[in-house]
Chain A
C-alpha cells in the first residue's frame, strides 16, 4: 500500500486573494518577514498498487483528471510506502 500526499495550489501567475488576506493577518500579528502566502488543498490517497511507479502514475492521472483544474491550478505530490 502506498500513500500519496498531494498539494493543489493556484498557479503562481494567478493572484491568490485568500493568500493575500491571510498574509495581511500574519503581518498584523507582527510577523513582518513572512511574505507571499499561498493557500492550497492537501489531499491524501491510499493506493493499493504493486509498485511505487504504478502509484505515481495513478496519482498523476487522478490529479490531472480531477483533483486539480489545470486551467488555474498546479499540483505536486509525494508518495510513501505504508503498511
Chain B
C-alpha cells in the first residue's frame, strides 16, 4: 500500500443515528483516513474497508434497541461484508444492532440501575491480539465514555463459556487501576462485558464510545488506539 493510500471508513447512517459525525470526524480528521456516510437504504457498501455502525437511537429504539435497524436494506450487505471477513465495528447502538442481527451473540437488557448512564468509564483490554486492539497491551486500561440505557449484556451460560473459550471478550469494565468488580460495572453486564467480537475476529461490538475519546481535549484520546489498530491491521493485510 503506497504512501497516499488511505483506509476507507464507511459509516452507516440509520434514522436516529447520532454518533455518525463523531465517527466520521475521527476517521477523517484525527486519523487522517478516508470516510464516507452510507445511508441505511443503500444496497451497496461501495469500496469501504471498514464498516462502522454508529451510536444513536435508530428507529427511536422502538420494540427493542436495534430491533428494527437490522431490517434496513444496508444490513444485508453488512452481513455479507462480515461473512467475507470484512472489518465491522458496532458502537453502542451499533453493538445492539449487531446483536439483533445475529452477527454477535447475546442481547442487551435494560441497565440494572434502570438509569441512562452517561459518563467516562475504564475498560480493561482482555484480548490485545485482535484487529481492534493490536495497538494495546494485554491488561491496558482505556478511559472511554459510555452513554446508554440498555447496555446490560446478557447471554446464556453456554454462550458466555464459548465467548471465554475463544477469547471473544475484548473489553471489560474495570476501575481506573484495572480491577474488574461490581463497583466498576456501570450497567449490570455479565462478567463486566463491555465489548465482544465474533469467533472469526472481524466483527466487534462495544458499548463505550471510542469516537468520543480520540482527542485529548475531549478528556481522553484512548479511543484512538482502537481506530489505529484497525488501520494498522488493514495496512498490513
A residues engaging B (CB < 8 A)?
10, 14-15, 17-18, 21, 66-67, 69, 71-72
- Does residue B154 face the partner (Cβ distance < 8 Å to A)? yes
* Smallest beta-carbon distance B110→chain A, Å: 6
Chain A neighbourhood of B155, CB < 8 A? 71
Chain A neighbourhood of B63, CB < 8 A? 66-67
10 closest A-B pairs by CB: A71-B107, A72-B107, A69-B107, A17-B114, A17-B112, A72-B154, A69-B64, A21-B114, A72-B109, A18-B114
Chain A neighbourhood of B100, CB < 8 A? 69
Contact A14 B114 (CB under 8 A): no
Instruction: Kindly state the separation between the CA atoms of A42 and B14 in the bound complex, as whole angstroms.
Output: 26
From B112, which residue of chain A is reached at the shortest CB distance?
Answer: A17
Contact B109 A10 (CB under 8 A): yes
Contact A66 B67 (CB under 8 A): yes
Chain B neighbourhood of A10, CB < 8 A? 109
Instruction: Kindly state the separation between the CA atoms of A69 and B106 in the bound complex, as whole angstroms.
Output: 10
Q: Per DSSP, are chain A's interface residues mostly helix, strand or loop, or mixed?
A: mixed
Chain B positions 115-158 with a Cβ under 8 Å from a chain A Cβ? 154-156
* Smallest beta-carbon distance B188→chain A, Å: 8
Given known contacts A67-B63, A71-B156, A72-B154, A18 and B107 CB-to-CB distance under 8 angstroms: no
B residues engaging A (CB < 8 A)?
63-64, 67, 99-100, 106-107, 109-114, 154-156, 188
Instruction: Kindly state the separation between the CA atoms of A71 and B102 in the bound complex, as whole angstroms.
Output: 11
Contact A18 B110 (CB under 8 A): yes
Chain B neighbourhood of A17, CB < 8 A? 110-114, 188
From B155, which residue of chain A is reached at the shortest CB distance?
Answer: A71
Instruction: Kindly state the separation between the CA atoms of A70 and B155 in the bound complex, as whole angstroms.
Output: 11
Complex A-B: 15 CB contacts under 8 Å: A14-B109, A17-B110, A17-B113, A17-B188, A18-B110, A21-B114, A66-B63, A69-B64, A69-B100, A69-B107, A71-B106, A71-B154, A71-B155, A71-B156, A72-B109
Most buried by B among A17, A18, A69: A69
Instruction: Kindly state the separation between the CA atoms of A47 and B112 in the bound complex, as whole angstroms.
Output: 36
Instruction: Kindly state the separation between the CA atoms of A67 and B64 in the bound complex, as whole angstroms.
Output: 9
From A72, which residue of chain B is reached at the shortest CB distance?
Answer: B107
* Smallest beta-carbon distance B165→chain A, Å: 19
Instruction: Kindly state the separation between the CA atoms of A21 and B114 in the bound complex, as whole angstroms.
Output: 9
Instruction: Kindly state the separation between the CA atoms of A17 and B115 in the bound complex, as whole angstroms.
Output: 11
Chain B neighbourhood of A67, CB < 8 A? 63
Chain A neighbourhood of B110, CB < 8 A? 17-18
